[in-house]
Amino acid sequence: MERLWPGRGAVFEELGGGITNRNYKVSVEGSEYVLRMGGAKTSLLGIDRAVEYAAGRRAFEVGVGPEVVAFVPEEGWLVARFIPGRPISLEDMRRPEVLGRVGDALRSFHSSAPIRGRFDAWAVVDGYRSLAVAHGVEIPEPFARAREVAERIRDVRGPQPEVPCHNDLLNANFLDDGSIRIVDWEYAGMGDRFFDLANFSVNHEFSVEDDRRLLEAYFGEARTADLASLRLMRFMSDFREAMWGVLQSGISDLDFDFRGYAMKHFGRMESTVADPDFARHMHAIG
């Protein structure tokens, strides 16, 4: 507190919910901020704090994120203005009015100027595997089969245009203060818009019909090939999340069952592949 707000009587309270970093709400001279202090070894997770800072500033510029007011790169500290908004429930996210606003917010960021950093889901899962092995973590048996499926998805979709993406669209990262605000830009980078759409979809437990409405909100229509891409990329979202949990189990100092978290996502991936619609979606693109 003294380094960031010297002699200004800043007071703080811890904000719960995160499983990577430590977050605090800071009150100082009538203003409120969120101080994010990076967790242990987060660079191994592919997090570049300078990229996060730049992405957060871009999100604020396009009206999507909170104002970023300070960055201490040597410590990995980021300070953003506190947003007095409300969480958005999973049920509310399905409402057409809310979904339309979310689609507008995502499209605004995806359509903005290029940002630093790159996010490729295939490279991420491979990198997490290598680092986990290097830290003595046993790789779960479902990895090999999942990697084969991932390669089939990449082959059938082919190269994709890269746009600025968030890449971690958990429900807890959305707030409504009259506008849709998205927080936590630490995995942001240039990537595939369909990873973002799929990541949002799977984290909000969307059905196929929900995904059609999401595509209509984002593109103005729900094309068959777009729906297929979104549904296939849900697999890649879960694969990234599963391998994130595997790596975290070997490097994090937080009290959390990262191994159980990983196996939950591996289980959901297996259910996705077993669904007859999965093969139909592969055919719809290929």
16-27, pLDDT tens digit by residue? 766 667 899 999
User: Which carries the bigger pLDDT value, residue 37 or residue 152?
Assistant: 152
Return the pLDDT at 251: 87
Confidence of residue 156 (pLDDT cuts 50, 70, 90): very high
- Whole-number percent of the chain with pLDDT over 70: 96
pLDDT above 70 for 42:
no
Over range 161-165, report the average pLDDT.
98
pLDDT above 90 for 41:
no
Return the pLDDT at 217: 97
What is the value of pTM for the model shown?
0.92
- Domain extents for the chain? 11-81, 90-285
Residue 68 CA to residue 105 CA, distance in Å, equals 18
Return the pLDDT at 48: 87
Element (H, E) at 13: strand 11-15
- Helix or strand or coil: residue 174? strand
Domain 90-285 - what CATH class? alpha beta
In terms of average pLDDT, the best of 37-51, 73-87, 147-161, 249-263 is 147-161
Over range 64-70, report the average pLDDT.
95
User: Which carries the bigger pLDDT value, residue 240 or residue 49?
Assistant: 240
Return the pLDDT at 47: 77
Token couple for 193 = 């818009």
CA 68 distance to own-chain centroid: 18
- At the fourth CATH level, the homologous superfamily of domain 11-81 is Phosphorylase Kinase; domain 1 (3.30.200.20)
Residue 79 CA to residue 4 CA, distance in Å, equals 9
Residue 237 CA to residue 170 CA, distance in Å, equals 11
Over range 150-171, report the average pLDDT.
97
pLDDT above 70 for 39:
no
User: How crowded is residue 206: how many other Cβ atoms within 10 Å of its Cβ?
Assistant: 23
Which amino acid appears at position 60 of this protein? Answer: F
Average pLDDT score over the chain: 93
Summarize pLDDT for 99-122 with one digit per residue, the tens. Answer: 999 999 999 999 999 998 999 999
Token couple for 172 = 């807890």
Element (H, E) at 33: strand 31-37
Q: Calculate the CA dihedral of residues 112, 115, 117, 123 and round it to 10 degrees.
A: 20
Q: Calculate the CA dihedral of residues 90, 244, 184, 202 and round it to 10 degrees.
A: -20
Token couple for 216 = 């209509």
- Helix or strand or coil: residue 189? strand
Over range 146-167, report the average pLDDT.
97
269: left (phi over 0), alpha (psi -120 to 50) or beta: alpha
Return the pLDDT at 25: 95
